[in-house]
């Protein structure tokens, strides 16, 4: 099977590794990364030019395109490929609105009786009305930019002043067009976890549950990031909770999307808030795999990922491609550049990856999130930092404790200037489990 993978982050590196492990797969990638090119041939195309992607698929006899990030989904890449008869793992632009418009997602959940926080949507012409509403809202209150904002468009405000500032900033263009509408939402108490469903438009298969660590600092402090680490499975999501999530959230979402003429085929990422009574409500939907959750979910997936995704892409989900969604436990610690999630330096040399991967009998994988090869004048190449999140150190084991230990042992073997990471990834899972 010839597969073209779109993306360049740690998530896509993990997808590349797992897809490559499926029998008879030849993998191509764009834009790719030095990590992804360990498993895939570079496709010299610009994924934002859909005609180029289509042309490449025809020339290279691509059987399936797997789209990693949200931006190409929101730009309709899947639609354009499908229109040319090319199988795609990833939802249409309309179905991806579950992620690309928080207002759409909230209204959809309300229409279909899916549990989520109370909310109201305001557009930029309702600025004063929104201010009045926020000023009398109970605290904390959550202000969200409607559109895609790389995980940075959400403010959990403890005071009305902070809430109003967030609202004004969104309407003043802080998030560009993503902030033209905003969602004002009730704050939900509880613990977060996420569930990933591989969907073919009607049916689904739920993969391992995971917990991300969104804040930059230990103990969930400081700014929100794209995700500083993850582990899977997440014991907070008991079998009973998962059964209810399947029945009360994922199933009605697929049925509702189909009934509204936008069947969802791809990975549905359900971000959950689980309260003390074990009731789960939706915090957010994403229309793609999570990053860094994919790194841990795929590390413990026992199955043939290429056949699983292909079956979903052609509308015939084949669950027999998977033997066990959670074969062991995995942990991923993200190494970020100094200053992340703000401005970061680029171009610092990275060393120690081979030592880290060799440290624990092949159970450690180092996924590249933001790296680049630097070519010296003598022809040698060195790996440099090239983004906010630089690497994702992922280890699997039989227990979470062991996976965490292996991860941090590997983390200590990798060096680059400004290396920044959390020291408590997975600790929540040990407390819960
Ligand atoms: P989102 O991009 O919608 O997932 O929001 C980013 C983060 O903000 C979430 O992972 C939560 O930690 C927090 N958050 C968002 N909405 C709420 C809410 N209604 N109640 C509590 N926390 C929230
Ligand atoms: N780790 C959060 C996300 O992928 O959206």
Q: Is 212 in the pocket of ligand 2 (CB under 6 A)?
A: yes
Distance 380 CA to ligand 2 centre (A): 35
CATH assignment of 191-432, among 3.30.470.20, 3.40.30.10, 3.40.47.10, 3.30.930.10: 3.30.470.20
The pLDDT of residue 362: 80
The pLDDT of residue 433: 60
Distance 158 CA to ligand 1 centre (A): 13
Same fold for the domain at 2-75 and the one at 191-432?
no
Q: Is 188 in the pocket of ligand 1 (CB under 6 A)?
A: yes
pLDDT grade for 188, boundaries at 50, 70 and 90 = very high
CA dist 41 → 6, 28, 56, 65, 353 (Å)? 12, 5, 13, 14, 21
Which carries the bigger pLDDT value, residue 153 or residue 390? 390
Q: Which ligand is nearest to the CA of 191?
A: 1
Fold for 2-75, please state it.
Rossmann fold (3.40.50)
Distance 283 CA to ligand 1 centre (A): 6
How do residues 237-269 score in pLDDT, each as one tens digit?
A: 999 999 999 999 999 999 999 999 999 999 999
Q: Is 70 in the pocket of ligand 2 (CB under 6 A)?
A: no
CA distance 374 to 353: 16
Percent of the chain with pLDDT over 90: 91
CA distance 70 to 198: 16
> Does residue 314 contact residue 95 with C-beta atoms inside 8 Å?
no
Q: Which ligand is nearest to the CA of 291?
A: 2
Chain-centre distance for alpha carbon 325: 18
How do residues 68-102 score in pLDDT, each as one tens digit?
A: 999 999 999 999 999 999 999 999 999 999 999 99
Residue 152 has pLDDT above 90, yes or no: no
Q: Quick one: which H or E segment has residue 65?
A: strand 64-67
Neighbour-count burial for 258-289, b at 16+ CB within 10 Å, e otherwise: eeeebbbbbbbbbbbbbeeeeebbbbbbbbbb
Q: Is 70 in the pocket of ligand 1 (CB under 6 A)?
A: no
Q: Is 290 in the pocket of ligand 2 (CB under 6 A)?
A: yes
Of all protein residues, whose CA lies closest to atom 5 belonging to ligand 2? Answer: 290
Kindly state the average pLDDT of the residues 309-329. Answer: 98
Q: Which of 70, 71, 224, 293 to mutate to test the pocket of ligand 2 (most atoms within 8 A of CB)?
A: 293
Whether residue 422 is preceded by a cis peptide bond, meaning omega within 30 degrees of 0, is no
> Does residue 50 contact residue 78 with C-beta atoms inside 8 Å?
no
pLDDT grade for 50, boundaries at 50, 70 and 90 = very high
Residue 150 has pLDDT above 80, yes or no: no
Q: Would you tell me how many other CB atoms lie within 10 Å of the CB of residue 159? A: 11
- Range with lowest mean pLDDT among 34-43, 104-113, 148-157: 148-157
Distance 112 CA to ligand 2 centre (A): 24
Sequence ranges of the domains in the chain: 2-75, 118-186, 191-432
Distance 209 CA to ligand 2 centre (A): 13
Q: Which ligand is nearest to the CA of 142?
A: 1
Kindly state the average pLDDT of the residues 24-51. Answer: 97
CATH assignment of 118-186, among 3.30.1490.20, 1.20.1070.10, 3.90.1820.10, 3.40.50.150: 3.30.1490.20
The minimum-distance atom of ligand 1 relative to the CA of 190 is 21
pLDDT grade for 360, boundaries at 50, 70 and 90 = confident
Of all protein residues, whose CA lies closest to atom 19 belonging to ligand 1? Answer: 187
Of all protein residues, whose CA lies closest to atom 7 belonging to ligand 1? Answer: 154
Kindly state the average pLDDT of the residues 308-316. Answer: 98
Query: What phi and psi, each to the nearest 5 degrees, are found at residue 186?
Result: -65, 140
pLDDT grade for 380, boundaries at 50, 70 and 90 = confident
């Amino acid at each position: 099977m010839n597969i073209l993978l779109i993306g360049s982050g740690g998530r896509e590196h993990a997808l590349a590794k797992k897809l490559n492990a499926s029998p008879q797969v030849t993998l191509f990638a764009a834009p790719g990364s030095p990590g992804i090119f360990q498993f895939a041939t570079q496709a010299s195309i610009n994924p934002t030019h859909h005609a180029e992607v289509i042309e490449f698929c025809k020339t290279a006899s691509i059987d399936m395109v797997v789209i990693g990030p949200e931006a190409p989904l929101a730009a309709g890449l899947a639609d354009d490929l499908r229109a040319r008869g090319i199988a795609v793992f990833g939802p249409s632009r309309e179905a991806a609105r579950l992620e690309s418009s928080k207002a759409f997602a909230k209204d959809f959940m309300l229409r279909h009786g899916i549990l989520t926080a109370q909310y109201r949507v305001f557009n930029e012409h309702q600025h004063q009305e929104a201010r009045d509403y926020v000023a009398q809202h109970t605290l904390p209150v959550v202000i969200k930019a409607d559109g895609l904002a790389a995980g940075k468009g959400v403010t959990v405000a403890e005071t009305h002043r902070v809430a109003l500032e967030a609202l004004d900033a969104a309407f003043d263009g802080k998030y560009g067009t993503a902030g033209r509408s905003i969602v004002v939402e009730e704050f939900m108490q509880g613990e977060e976890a996420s569930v990933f469903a591989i969907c073919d438009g009607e049916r689904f298969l739920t993969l391992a549950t995971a917990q991300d660590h969104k804040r930059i600092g230990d103990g969930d402090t400081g700014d929100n990031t794209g995700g500083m680490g993850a582990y899977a499975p997440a014991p907070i999501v008991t079998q009973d909770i998962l059964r209810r999530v399947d029945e009360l959230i994922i199933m009605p979402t697929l049925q509702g999307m189909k009934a509204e003429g936008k069947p969802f085929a791809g990975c549905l990422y359900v971000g959950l808030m689980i309260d003390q009574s074990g009731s789960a409500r939706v915090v957010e939907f994403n229309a793609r795999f999570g990053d860094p959750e994919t790194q841990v979910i795929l590390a413990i997936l026992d199955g043939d990922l290429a056949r699983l995704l292909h079956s979903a892409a052609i509308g015939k989900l084949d669950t027999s491609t998977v033997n066990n969604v959670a074969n062991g436990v995995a942990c991923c610690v993200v190494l970020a550049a100094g200053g992340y999630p703000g401005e970061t330096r680029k171009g610092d040399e990275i060393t120690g990856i081979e030592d880290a991967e060799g440290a624990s009998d092949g159970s450690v994988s180092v996924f590249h999130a933001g790296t680049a090869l630097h070519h010296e004048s003598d022809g040698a190449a060195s790996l440099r930092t090239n983004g906010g999140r630089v690497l994702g150190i992922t280890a699997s084991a039989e227990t979470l404790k062991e996976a965490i230990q292996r991860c941090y042992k590997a983390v200590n073997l990798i060096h680059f200037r400004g290396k920044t990471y959390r020291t408590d990834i997975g600790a929540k899972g040990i407390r819960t489990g």
